[in-house]
């Protein structure tokens, strides 16, 4: 029988206030295998760890159980402590009597009883613990950044500046993302393009950055340090090596369609560059609208192109590339305002979103920066803003705050007053949230110097009478209904995840919340990491953020990514699955369930009734296995076991629980 020690932590008063730690230690002395038990105020402290190490040596312990806080917090601390004491790291077991006992039970006696049960179970497991070892895997020193908005660009630049190769991928054919559509940024009113385009150009010209625009991620295989990513380079029907970006093809193309970049407020051609500062500044042909690709007619662009760059025969190209780490910066979509039927969005052309207004205010936009009503081109005089459209609204399944709308509405009201001094802006709001440097001051200026009139209350209906929009709502501060006759209504549409965010998460093997925002590994202590090692988050794919926040997180993700790339090799997981080949029936159920594709089949030869026979059994690739345990619960022959969590150990814990 192994010699086990038990160390019960008070965690100051966190545990000791609701658990009789002395009783837990005393009870532990009676469990089979326990030769030593004691308590300490802070087990994780230097003296606490010294105490464990001395006990290991003096009591000749084979392993120990620490009853303390969550293993997420200190499992590594106590494993390292075991190593310093001369034990294998995996001979240390941690049981959580803080979050699972003291923090959830007000009754000290009940909390103590539960702590005693948990320690008894942990001891039953610890006596069956075996030393485990890790192996090392090489790291491919290249990063993939998915999404080339401001967050992706920043992450790519930071990784590249640290000397590592980066592929910056975007499914659109220019980098820049949403920020490229924005006219000015709050609270400084910088021209968005003026601060974004230098970064776009820097990324395009950086010797360590390879741009992969018009490219999608099809699938991701492999594991931290070695992700094999299948990429689909979409056919642009233009050979970028030959194209000089002269723009003749765009000019002569006879087919006009509505421009997505201009939020359908202006046209583009079938062969097009989405905006003047696009990077790369080379056109692609939209196969859904090109007359030649649809019915073999036209071909003007091919005839006109002086370099012979138009290639109607071009096909999608599928390639597999290996990366050591991935930064996900796939961004957001604007909330679909047509879900607010009561606001007439989609029916009334003069009910628009904040992003539409950005394009109307932009000098390179469809109206050359003149704010005109989409319906008749008139200059509006009364403008009504409605905040929280698709944010903080449980009825629309969008209970969260989109964070940026309060500030972009203040920015819009300010800019409109500057451009149209005779105009008047009204802002319907529920709350005003201005958490950011100089944000509150900016919002105050909108009211005091730019005559923005804020009305606290929800808008119930917007309808059209003649060429005016009637905005009916409530002024909840004076407690009476209110109606405003407006020329233009701007709905401050919130942010929502990309439509294919869940699909992308499945391809990457990362998790997402109930709305589809990607989940960080820990909301406080690991806000950049995902649960999949080597994959990091940047920007609004994780939840609503403004530009400075996205940029800061992108740099943080880059630090994590470069930290990983700078390692020559990585230590693989020790607690991986292993197959007991003697009892494996080769049914393959484990292979079908493994989310990391870590199991394949292998042939073994064995003697059966004196004859050599060959059969197939499961084989685990320890480099891919993440120790999730899906295979063990699925295996009908109990052949699969997770090292450190064997069926025998788990059953021993259940037995120990039943012994109460």
Chain residues in the site for ligand SF4 (CB under 6 A)? 238, 243-249, 282-283, 304-305, 307, 309-310, 576-577, 593-594, 596, 598-599, 620, 625-631, 642
Strands (E), 147-304: 165-170, 184-185, 190-191, 209-213, 215-223, 226-233, 256-258, 267-269, 271-272, 284-285
Cβ-based neighbours of 580, under 8 Å, separated by 6 or more: 638, 639, 640, 641
| Cα gap 139→196, rounded to integer Å | 32
Could you give the angle at the alpha carbon of 324 between the alpha carbons of 323 and 330, nearest 5°?
A: 65
Are the CB atoms for 118 and 87 separated by under 8 Å?
Answer: no
Nearest to 555 by CA among 528, 534, 526: 528
- Residue 644 CB, shortest distance to ligand SF4, in Å, is 12
| Cα gap 391→546, rounded to integer Å | 15
- Residue 238 CB, shortest distance to ligand SF4, in Å, is 5
Choose between 309 and 521: whose C-beta lies nearer to ligand SF4. 309
- Residue 280 CB, shortest distance to ligand SF4, in Å, is 11
SS3 190: strand
Tell me whether strands 611-620 and 599-608 are parallel, antiparallel or unpaired.
antiparallel
Are the CB atoms for 413 and 455 separated by under 8 Å?
Answer: no
Cis peptide before 280 (omega within 30 of 0): yes
Helix (H) or strand (E) holding 151: helix 150-161
- Residue 96 CB, shortest distance to ligand SF4, in Å, is 22
- Measured in degrees and rounded to the nearest 5, phi and psi for residue 194 equal -65, -30
Give the C-alpha distances (Å, rounded to integers) separating 364 from 193, 380, 435, 494.
10, 20, 31, 24
- Residue 303 CB, shortest distance to ligand SF4, in Å, is 10
Choose between 223 and 400: whose C-beta lies nearer to ligand SF4. 223
- Residue 189 CB, shortest distance to ligand SF4, in Å, is 34
CA atoms within 13 A on the CB side of 637: 16
Are the CB atoms for 56 and 65 separated by under 8 Å?
Answer: no
- Residue 134 CB, shortest distance to ligand SF4, in Å, is 15
Choose between 187 and 627: whose C-beta lies nearer to ligand SF4. 627
Neighbouring-strand partners of residue 613? 606
- 10 Å CB burial of residue 385 (0-12, 13-18, 19+) is buried
From the CB of residue 127, how many other CB atoms can be counted at a distance below 10 Å? Answer: 21
- Residue 570 CB, shortest distance to ligand SF4, in Å, is 16
Cβ-based neighbours of 555, under 8 Å, separated by 6 or more: 154, 155, 158
Q: How far is CA 172 from the centre of its chain?
A: 19
Choose between 501 and 584: whose C-beta lies nearer to ligand SF4. 584
Choose between 208 and 314: whose C-beta lies nearer to ligand SF4. 314
From the CB of residue 3, how many other CB atoms can be counted at a distance below 10 Å? Answer: 16
- Residue 322 CB, shortest distance to ligand SF4, in Å, is 20
Are the CB atoms for 386 and 348 separated by under 8 Å?
Answer: no
Q: Report how many helices (DSSP H) and strands (DSSP E) the chain contains, helices first.
A: 17, 34
Choose between 69 and 305: whose C-beta lies nearer to ligand SF4. 305
Choose between 245 and 266: whose C-beta lies nearer to ligand SF4. 245
- Residue 153 CB, shortest distance to ligand SF4, in Å, is 24
- Residue 92 CB, shortest distance to ligand SF4, in Å, is 21
Helix (H) or strand (E) holding 154: helix 150-161
Choose between 547 and 591: whose C-beta lies nearer to ligand SF4. 591
Choose between 67 and 300: whose C-beta lies nearer to ligand SF4. 300
| Cα gap 317→211, rounded to integer Å | 15
Choose between 228 and 264: whose C-beta lies nearer to ligand SF4. 228
- Residue 659 CB, shortest distance to ligand SF4, in Å, is 29
Choose between 122 and 630: whose C-beta lies nearer to ligand SF4. 630
Give the C-alpha distances (Å, rounded to integers) separating 90 from 7, 124, 125, 558.
16, 15, 12, 32
- Residue 157 CB, shortest distance to ligand SF4, in Å, is 27
Choose between 282 and 424: whose C-beta lies nearer to ligand SF4. 282
Choose between 92 and 572: whose C-beta lies nearer to ligand SF4. 572
Choose between 245 and 516: whose C-beta lies nearer to ligand SF4. 245
- Residue 302 CB, shortest distance to ligand SF4, in Å, is 9
């Amino acid at each position: 029988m192994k010699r086990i020690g038990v160390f019960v932590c008070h965690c100051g008063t966190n545990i000791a206030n609701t658990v009789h730690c002395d009783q837990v230690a005393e009870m532990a002395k009676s469990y089979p295998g326990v030769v030593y038990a004691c308590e300490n105020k802070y087990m994780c402290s230097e003296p606490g760890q010294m105490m464990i190490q001395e006990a290991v040596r003096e009591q000749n312990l084979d392993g120990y159980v620490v009853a303390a806080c969550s293993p997420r917090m200190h499992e590594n601390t106590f494993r390292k402590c075991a190593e310093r004491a001369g034990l294998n790291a995996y001979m240390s077991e941690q049981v959580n009597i803080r979050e699972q006992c003291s923090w959830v039970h007000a009754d000290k006696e009940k909390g103590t009883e539960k702590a005693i049960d948990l320690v008894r179970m942990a001891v039953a497991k610890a006596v069956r613990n075996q030393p485990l070892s890790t192996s090392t895997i090489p790291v491919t020193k290249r990063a993939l950044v998915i999404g080339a908005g401001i967050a992706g660009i920043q992450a790519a630049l930071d990784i590249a500046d640290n000397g590592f190769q980066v592929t910056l991928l975007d499914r659109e054919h220019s980098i820049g993302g949403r920020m490229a559509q924005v006219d000015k940024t709050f609270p400084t009113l910088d021209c968005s393009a003026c601060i974004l385009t230098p970064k776009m150009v820097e990324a395009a010209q950086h010797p360590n950055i390879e741009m992969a625009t018009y490219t999608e991620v099809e699938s991701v295989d492999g594991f931290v340090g070695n992700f094999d990513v299948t990429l689909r380079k979409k056919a642009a029907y233009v050979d970028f090596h030959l194209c000089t970006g002269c723009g003749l093809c765009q000019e002569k193309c006879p087919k006009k369609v509505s421009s997505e970049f201009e939020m359908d407020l202006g046209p583009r051609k079938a062969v097009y560059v989405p905006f003047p500062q696009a990077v790369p500044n080379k056109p692609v042909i939209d196969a859904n609208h090109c007359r030649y690709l649809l019915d073999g007619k036209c071909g003007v662009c091919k005839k006109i192109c002086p370099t012979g760059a138009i290639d109607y025969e071009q096909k999608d190209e599928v390639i597999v590339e290996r990366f050591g780490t991935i930064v996900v910066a796939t961004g957001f979509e604007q909330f679909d305002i047509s879900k607010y039927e009561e606001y007439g969005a989609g029916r009334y052309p003069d009910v628009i979103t904040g992003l539409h207004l950005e394009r109307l205010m932009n000098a390179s936009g469809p109206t050359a920066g003149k704010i005109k009503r989409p319906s008749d081109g008139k200059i509006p005089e009364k403008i009504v803003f409605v905040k929280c459209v698709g944010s903080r609204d449980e009825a629309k399944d969008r209970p969260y705050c989109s964070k940026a709308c309060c500030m972009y509405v203040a920015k819009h009201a300010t800019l409109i007053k500057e451009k149209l001094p005779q105009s008047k802006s009204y802002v319907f709001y529920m709350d005003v949230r201005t958490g950011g440097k100089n944000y509150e001051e900016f919002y105050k200026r909108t009211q005091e110097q730019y005559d923005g009139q804020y009305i606290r209350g929800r808008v119930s209906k917007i309808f059209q009478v003649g060429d005016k929009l009637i905005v009916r709502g409530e002024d909840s501060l004076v407690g009476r209904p209110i109606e405003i006759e407006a020329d233009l209504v701007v709905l401050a549409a919130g942010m929502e995840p990309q439509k294919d965010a869940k699909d992308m998460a499945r391809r990457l093997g990362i998790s997402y919340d109930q709305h589809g925002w990607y989940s960080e590994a820990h909301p406080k202590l690991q806000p950049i990491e995902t649960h999949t090692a080597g994959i990091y988050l940047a920007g609004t794919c994780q939840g609503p953020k403004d530009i400075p926040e996205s940029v800061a997180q992108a740099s943080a993700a880059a630090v994590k990514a470069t930290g990983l790339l700078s390692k020559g090799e990585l230590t693989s997981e020790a607690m991986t699955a292993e197959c007991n080949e003697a009892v494996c029936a080769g049914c393959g159920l484990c292979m079908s369930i493994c989310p990391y594709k870590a199991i394949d089949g292998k042939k073994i030869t064995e003697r059966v009734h004196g004859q050599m026979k060959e059969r197939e059994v499961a084989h685990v690739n320890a480099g891919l296995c993440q120790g999730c345990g899906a295979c063990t619960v699925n295996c009908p022959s109990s052949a699969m076991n997770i090292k450190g969590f064997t069926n025998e150990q788990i059953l021993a814990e259940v037995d120990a629980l039943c012994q109460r």
